[in-house]
Structure 1
Amino acid sequence: MGKVLVCGSIAYDNIMDFPGLFKEQILPDKIHSLNVSFLVKSMKRVKGGTAPNIAYSLSLLGEKPMILGTAGKDFYEYRDWLDKNGVDTSHIKIAEDDYTATCYITTDNVNNQITGFYPGAMALDPQLSLKDMDLTGISLVIIAPTEPEAMTKWTTECQQLGISYIYDPGMQIPRLSPKDLKDGILGAKIAIFNEYEYDLMKEKTGLSKDQILGSVDILIVTMGEKGSLISGRNQMVQVSVAKPKRVVDPTGAGDAFRAGLIKGYLEGSSLEKMGRYASVSAVFAVEHKGATEHHYTIDEYKARYKENYGEV
């Protein structure tokens, strides 16, 4: 079982809570001239970014992940924290003339979110190459949302180097060209989307589920409270969500889900068990404000798994 290389954004998240419903503030017939302001009741600045989010949860699960990405001059404290938590940061480039990417997330009472994102140093990700790295011991790469040019470069390099990768285009689907999106999916070992992203991807690429499964080994579609659909070449399973002890903030749950999924995949688990691993990993993130604010031991993880699904 080799190491995982996590490629994606590195960011700070500013999480704000709106004590109401977005839908009550937006008039459908005025959507073309939208001008709204939300008075939030709280704000918290936390460590985030798709790559650290995934890598941190992987470290909690006993893995030793590496990150590839670019951060800014305000990243040093974050880097030290990642190092202390078992994440290899030696391939993170720091741009001294810019700030780390910053995300502003406002969540309403039913966990709908509106997000603004300043890319900052992340804009330099296309300059990074897998071919400049020592990839000895890397058995799997996950390519998570960051600059689309970088995502396309890294998928191409994985294909050229013969390295298995998970393709997780997520929020960057609108910015990826149909060809780049299609090539990224069809070259992957695993492709993962949420429901909305999956429909958007199909519309943009014209790919059907059967066409995708003709190339990838596993296709995953997450469905929020409805769980996830995990499809292989000859099997499809629906996995229910693990039950949270409390719901604090959904930010980062998807990235934690991916970490659990990777853990199950590396162990050679069944599709159902992979989905359960992912769901339990995600539920810890939901119970805290921020994508990297949770912590658990392996024994605590196994206990939560048993509570929801029986024996591990």
Structure 2
Amino acid sequence: MGKVLVCGSIAYDNIMDFPGLFGEQILPDKIHALNVSFLVNSLKRVRGGTAPNIAYSLSLVGEKPVILGTAGRDFYEYRDWLIKNGVDTGCIKIVDEDYTATCYITTDMSNNQITGFYPGAMALDSQLSLKDMDLTGISLVVIAPTEPSAMTKWTMECQELGVPYLYDPGMQMPRLSSKELRDGIIGARIAIFNEYEYDLMKGKTGLSEDEILNNVDILVITLGEKGSIICGRNQKVQVKAARPVRVVDPTGAGDAFRAGLIKGYLEGVSLETMGRYACVSAVYAVEHKGATEHCYTIDDYKLRYKENYEAV
């Protein structure tokens, strides 16, 4: 079994709950002069960042993740926790002159989210290069949201080195040019978006679904509680979401989804099974506040899969 190199942000998440609906506080005809404040009823600081989120869930499903990214002087305890949980942190650069990136997430009663992000040490991600690494044994590189220039650099390096990669522009899509976005997608083995990002991407790049699938092996569109659409070059399947025991917080569910998807891809399972792996992985994150607060054994994971997709 090969390793997965996860390139992305490393951050702390500050998660806040707003006991109302954002939509009721925003006047569409005053959107040009938006000035709103939300009184939240809880605050929790948790470990986050796209790279650790994905890597942690990869470890839970039995994979061997390695993280590439930059963190600050407040990262050491987080690093020790990752190592304890089976994540290789040897490629993380720690910058003692700055803090680790910090995210502020406010979630309303319908699980809509407003996010603010301070990049901190993450701004130096573009100084890291795949060409300086020993990529022996790496089966897949994940390019997850982080400093946009770093994402573009790493996708180009993957293409130059002939290393397969998953492209996940996510929240950085507005910061990527249409050419950068198009080039990142076209060279990928897997491209993944949520429903909103997918429409935004098509408008920005002009790419159609057929054009994408003529170049990538798998296109994934996540649909939240409606599940996901997994597209191959000759097949498209819609996979229903796994059932949560409870819905606590959606933060990190997308990253956990990616871990299950990667597990299925590396195992060579069908598109439908791959999507099911992903949905089971994601549902654990939904049941906890924070992207790395969930924990389960591989036997727990298999049982949850069976309960959701094999029950008569």
TM-score category (smaller protein): over 0.9
In structure 2, the residue matched to 1:7 is: 7
Residue 146 of structure 1 aligns to a residue whose secondary structure is coil
| Post-superposition offset of 1:51 | 0.1
Q: Which residue of 1 aligns with 2:207?
A: 207
Residue 28 of structure 1 and its aligned partner are, at CA, apart by 1.1
Matched, 1:116 2:126: no
Unaligned stretches of 5+ residues in structure 2: none
CA distance in 1, matches of 2:62, 2:196: 31
Tell me if 1:61 matches 2:61: yes
Post-superposition CA distance 1:80-133 (Å, at most 9, x none): 000000000000001110000000000000100000000000000000000001
Distance across 1 between alignment mates of 2:173 and 2:22: 24
Superposition RMSD on alpha carbons, in Å?
Answer: 0.6
Give 1:141-180 correspondences, 5 Å limit. 141-180=141-180
Q: Distance in 2 between matches of 1:310 and 1:89?
A: 36
Alignment correspondent of 1:248: 248
Please state if 1:287 is matched with 2:287.
Answer: yes
Q: How many Å separate the matches in 1 of 2:310 and 2:5? A: 31
| Correspondence for 2:136 | 136
CA distance in 2, matches of 1:63, 1:84: 15
Residue in 1 that maps onto 2:82 = 82
Residue 296 of structure 2 aligns with which residue? 296
CA drift at 1:254? 0.0
**Residue identity matched to 2:114:** I
Which residue number in structure 1 is paired with residue 276 of structure 2?
Answer: 276
2:230/2:237 contact within 8 Å kept: yes
Q: Deviations over 1:48-102 (max 9, x none)?
A: 0000000000000111100000000000000000000000000000111000000
Q: Is the 8 A contact 2:13 2:104 kept in 1?
A: yes
Divergent runs of 4+, >4 A: none
Matched residue, 1:45: 45
* Secondary structure of 2:88 counterpart: coil
- The answer on whether the counterparts of 2:249 and 2:286 sit within 8 Å (CA) in structure 1 is yes
Deviation digits for residues 127-181 of structure 1 (CA, Å, limit 9, x no counterpart): 0000001111001001000011000000000001100000000011110011110
Separation of aligned partners in 1, 2:247 and 2:266: 29
Distance 1:70 1:173 in 2: 20
Matched residue SS, 1:89 = strand
Please list every run of 5 or more consecutive structure 1 residues that lacks an aligned counterpart in the other structure.
Answer: none
Tell me if structure 1 keeps the 8 A contact 2:10–2:122: yes
Percent identical across equivalent pairs?
Answer: 83
- Would you say the 8 A contact 2:2–2:64 is kept in 1? no
Secondary structure in 1 matching 2:142: strand
Aligned residues: 311
SS at match of 2:64: coil
- CA positional deviation for 1:27: 1.1
Instruction: State the alpha-carbon separation in 1 of the partners of residues 28 and 271 from structure 2.
Output: 41
SS of corresponding position for 1:173: helix
Contact 2:101 2:118 in 1 (8 A): yes
Contact 2:73 2:95 in 1 (8 A): yes
Query: In structure 1, what is the equivalent of residue 261 of structure 2?
Result: 261
**2:280 alignment partner AA:** V
TM-score (norm 1): 0.99
Partner of 2:31: 31
Measure, in 2, the Cα distance between the counterparts of 1:281 and 1:177: 32
Which residue does the alignment assign to 2:197?
197
SS of the aligned residue for 1:66 comes to strand
Alignment correspondent of 1:94: 94
